[in-house]
Structure 1
Amino acid sequence: MWTYRGRQSVASIVTHSSRRLATGNRPAATPSRRRYASGGFKGSPQPADSHWLRNSLGVAGAGTAAFLIYEYATSNRNHPVESPLEKVQDLSKSAGDLSSEFVQHKRSLKSPGVFVWGNNAYRVADPNSKESVVKTPRNFTYFEGQVLRDLKIEERSGAAITSNGDLVQWGKGYSEKEFKPVKTLTGKNLTSLCTSNDRILALSSDGKIYSLPIAKEDQLSGRKLKEGSWVPYWSGTADVSYRVLQPSLKLGERVTALRGGLDHALLLTSSGRVFSVASSTENYPSFGQLGVPGLTWATRPKGPVDTLHEVTALKGSKIVQIAAGDYHSLALDKDGNVFAFGDNSFGQLGMTFNPASPFRDAPTRVPIRNLYRGPWLTKTTRIAAGGANSFFAVDAQRALGPDENLSTVRDLGRITADTWTCGRGIWGALGNGKWTHVQDAPTKVKTLSGLFEYDERANGLSPIRIHDISVGTTHVSAVMANQTHVDAAPTASLDENKDWGFDALWWGGNENHQLGTGKRSNLSKPSYIHAPLESTDQQEARLQIMPRHKGKVEGRTVSMEQRVECGRHVSAIYSAV
Structure 2
Amino acid sequence: MSYSRLSPRLRNLPFTAAAASAALGVYVYYTQPSSQIRNDTQPVNPIDVKNDGLEIRPKVAGKVKTTGATAEAIAQAGEHAVWVWGNNRNNTLLPPLSGSTSAQSTIKTARPTPYIPRDTPLRDLVLAEQYAAAVDAKGDLWLWGNGYWDDAPGNMGVHVEQSHLGDRAKAQKSLRGKNITSLAASPNKIYALSSSGDIYAVASSRVLQHSRLLSQNGNAESPKSSSWWDTFGLGRIGKAFAQDPGVDCVKLGVSGDGLKKGERFTSLVAGKSHILALTSAGRTFSMGLNPNGNSHSQLGTRTILPIGNPEHNPSSPQPLVPLLASTSPAQEVISALPPSHDIRYSTKLNQITSLSGIDIIQIAAGENTSFFRTRGEGRVLGLGANAFGQIGLGAMSSVDIVPVPTEIVLAKAYPGGTTLKCLNVAAGANNTYFTVERSATGQPHMRYVDLLAVGSGLTGTLGNGLWSSANGSPVKVKTVSGLQEYSEATQSFVPLDIAKVSVSSSPTPHVFATLHTVALSDAAGVQSKMYGNDCMTWGAGTDYQLGNGRRSNLSVPQHLPPLKGAAKGVIDALGNSDPAPVARETTLGSGTVSPMPHSRLQLHAGKADAYDLEGNLIKRNVPAEQTIYAGHNASAVYWKIV
TM-score range (shorter-chain normalised) is 0.7 to 0.9
Pairing 1:292–2:334 present: no
Q: Matches of 1:319 and 1:199 in 2, distance apart? A: 26
1:382 corresponds, among 409, 424, 429, to 424
2:625 corresponds, among 561, 570, 574, to 561
The aligned residue for residue 194 of structure 2 is: 204
Aligned AA (1:218) = L
Q: Matches of 1:165 and 1:236 in 2, distance apart? A: 13
Tell me how many residue pairs correspond in the alignment: 475
The aligned residue for residue 333 of structure 2 is: none
Sort the Cα spacing of 1:295 and 1:81 in 2 relative to 1 into closer, same or farther, 3 A. farther
Aligned residue runs from structure 1 range 54-69, under 5 A: none
Aligned residue runs from structure 1 range 528-543, under 5 A: 528-532=559-563, 533-536=567-570, 537=572, 542-543=599-600
1:482 corresponds, among 514, 517, 520, to 517
Q: Matches of 2:293 and 2:395 in 1, distance apart? A: 23
Deviation at 1:155, TM superposition (A): 2.2
Q: Matches of 1:219 and 1:493 in 2, distance apart? A: 47
Point out the more displaced range, 549-558 or 470-479.
549-558
Q: Matches of 1:125 and 1:192 in 2, distance apart? A: 20
Q: Matches of 1:218 and 1:315 in 2, distance apart? A: 37
1:115 corresponds, among 62, 77, 83, to 83
Pairing 1:332–2:373 present: yes
Deviation at 1:359, TM superposition (A): 1.1
Deviation at 1:516, TM superposition (A): 1.4
The aligned residue for residue 4 of structure 2 is: 12
Q: Matches of 1:109 and 1:457 in 2, distance apart? A: 39
Aligned residue runs from structure 1 range 76-475, under 5 A: 111-128=79-96, 130-143=103-116, 144-175=118-149, 176=151, 179-180=168-169, 181-222=171-212, 224-225=220-221, 233=240, 238-247=245-254, 248-279=258-289, 281=290, 283-297=292-306, 305-334=346-375, 335-352=377-394, 357-400=399-442, 411-472=443-504, 473=506, 474-475=509-510
Q: Deviations over 1:373-408 (max 9, x none)?
A: 1321100011100011000011101223xxxxxxxx
Aligned AA (2:135) = I
Point out the more displaced range, 229-238 or 430-439.
229-238
Q: Matches of 2:455 and 2:439 in 1, distance apart? A: 26
Deviation at 1:469, TM superposition (A): 0.5
Deviation at 1:342, TM superposition (A): 0.8
Deviation at 1:548, TM superposition (A): 2.7
Aligned AA (1:313) = S
Sort the Cα spacing of 1:84 and 1:369 in 2 relative to 1 into closer, same or farther, 3 A. farther
Deviation at 1:284, TM superposition (A): 3.2
Sort the Cα spacing of 1:215 and 1:493 in 2 relative to 1 into closer, same or farther, 3 A. farther
Match of 2:472, SS state, is strand
Deviation at 1:297, TM superposition (A): 2.5
Q: Structure 1 regions of 5+ residues with no counterpart?
A: 1-8, 15-76, 91-106, 401-410
Task: Give the conservation status (yes or no) of the 8 Å contact 1:564–1:572.
Answer: yes
Task: Give the conservation status (yes or no) of the 8 Å contact 1:550–1:560.
Answer: yes
Deviation at 1:429, TM superposition (A): 0.8
Aligned AA (2:459) = W
Q: Matches of 1:519 and 1:272 in 2, distance apart? A: 43
Q: Matches of 2:436 and 2:426 in 1, distance apart? A: 12
Deviation at 1:519, TM superposition (A): 1.6
Sort the Cα spacing of 1:108 and 1:265 in 2 relative to 1 into closer, same or farther, 3 A. farther
Match of 2:479, SS state, is helix
Deviation at 1:547, TM superposition (A): 3.3
Deviation at 1:350, TM superposition (A): 0.3
Provide the TM-score with structure 2 as the length reference: 0.68
Q: Matches of 1:558 and 1:108 in 2, distance apart? A: 22
Aligned AA (1:289) = Q
Task: Give the conservation status (yes or no) of the 8 Å contact 1:284–1:297.
Answer: no
Match of 1:291, SS state, is coil
Deviation at 1:225, TM superposition (A): 2.4
Match of 1:218, SS state, is helix
Q: State the Cα RMSD in Å.
A: 3.5
Q: Matches of 1:217 and 1:393 in 2, distance apart? A: 41
Sort the Cα spacing of 1:152 and 1:439 in 2 relative to 1 into closer, same or farther, 3 A. same
Q: Matches of 1:271 and 1:83 in 2, distance apart? A: 51
Q: Matches of 2:529 and 2:211 in 1, distance apart? A: 53
Sort the Cα spacing of 1:197 and 1:316 in 2 relative to 1 into closer, same or farther, 3 A. same
Aligned residue runs from structure 1 range 482-561, under 5 A: 482-483=517-518, 485-486=520-521, 488=523, 494=526, 496=527, 500-532=531-563, 533-536=567-570, 537=572, 542-553=599-610, 556-561=620-625
Task: Give the conservation status (yes or no) of the 8 Å contact 2:3–2:485.
Answer: no
Q: Matches of 1:10 and 1:140 in 2, distance apart? A: 38
Pairing 1:570–2:634 present: yes
Match of 1:426, SS state, is coil
Q: Matches of 2:396 and 2:95 in 1, distance apart? A: 44
Sort the Cα spacing of 1:207 and 1:452 in 2 relative to 1 into closer, same or farther, 3 A. same
Match of 1:288, SS state, is coil
Sort the Cα spacing of 1:138 and 1:257 in 2 relative to 1 into closer, same or farther, 3 A. same
Q: Deviations over 1:264-302 (max 9, x none)?
A: 1111111111111123x57433111112212422699x9
Sort the Cα spacing of 1:412 and 1:235 in 2 relative to 1 into closer, same or farther, 3 A. closer
Sort the Cα spacing of 1:10 and 1:398 in 2 relative to 1 into closer, same or farther, 3 A. closer
Match of 1:363, SS state, is strand
Identity of aligned residues (%): 33
Deviation at 1:85, TM superposition (A): 6.6
Deviation at 1:551, TM superposition (A): 3.8
Q: Matches of 1:331 and 1:394 in 2, distance apart? A: 15
Match of 1:440, SS state, is coil
Aligned AA (1:188) = K
Sort the Cα spacing of 1:199 and 1:84 in 2 relative to 1 into closer, same or farther, 3 A. farther
Sort the Cα spacing of 1:465 and 1:214 in 2 relative to 1 into closer, same or farther, 3 A. same
Task: Give the conservation status (yes or no) of the 8 Å contact 1:136–1:517.
Answer: yes
Deviation at 1:460, TM superposition (A): 1.3
Q: Matches of 1:277 and 1:558 in 2, distance apart? A: 34
Sort the Cα spacing of 1:344 and 1:253 in 2 relative to 1 into closer, same or farther, 3 A. same
Q: Matches of 1:443 and 1:485 in 2, distance apart? A: 28
Task: Give the conservation status (yes or no) of the 8 Å contact 2:395–2:473.
Answer: no
Give the number of the structure with larger relative contact order, counting CA–CA contacts within 8 Å between residues 6 or more apart: 2
Sort the Cα spacing of 1:198 and 1:86 in 2 relative to 1 into closer, same or farther, 3 A. farther
Point out the more displaced range, 316-325 or 538-547.
538-547
Deviation at 1:458, TM superposition (A): 1.5
The aligned residue for residue 57 of structure 1 is: none
Q: Structure 2 regions of 5+ residues with no counterpart?
A: 7-20, 37-74, 98-102, 152-159, 161-166, 214-219, 225-234, 313-343, 573-579, 587-597, 611-616
Q: Deviations over 1:529-548 (max 9, x none)?
A: 21231342587764434233
